[in-house]
Structure 1
């Protein structure tokens, strides 16, 4: 990859919607976390979070940081592995126990 292309590609991540492999909306990329030594993206800062996944876990107006290793594909949207959906399953389990 051409080093000159990297900054432009990184900035194009901002504003993209993030979905799980199964099509569950996760949030929208607000910023990226970079490792300056390796010049690699290490995380995605998400805002506009899914109520379905994050209700009761993240205060309204707050965001989350997803590890970039969870990213499976980047295109018009960003796909992450379905690890994120375990949040929803844990919430349902907690409600069942209550």
Structure 2
């Protein structure tokens, strides 16, 4: 069944190596994962892992490029202080949501 992409997600990896949304800025972050969320024709939503990175820079760049290429929102689910500094008009493409 074909899948319709609905979002690119950038999530933090905790100290146990589990990929998860990090909602507390005090938690240690060991890396970042990029996922593509899609909906099947049946309506079932799935997330497909794309890549893991040690630092946020390359992970954010990949997530942003996928978001632009697929014309779907980018959801960033990492602690607020770890967000990269945005510069230029290209960085404003897509919807960016930060976890609290």
Give the TM-score taking structure 2 as reference length. 0.26
Larger Rg over CA atoms: 1
Structure with the larger RCO, 1 or 2 (CA within 8 Å, 6+ apart): 2
Name whichever structure is richer in helix by fraction.
1
Give the TM-score taking structure 1 as reference length. 0.26
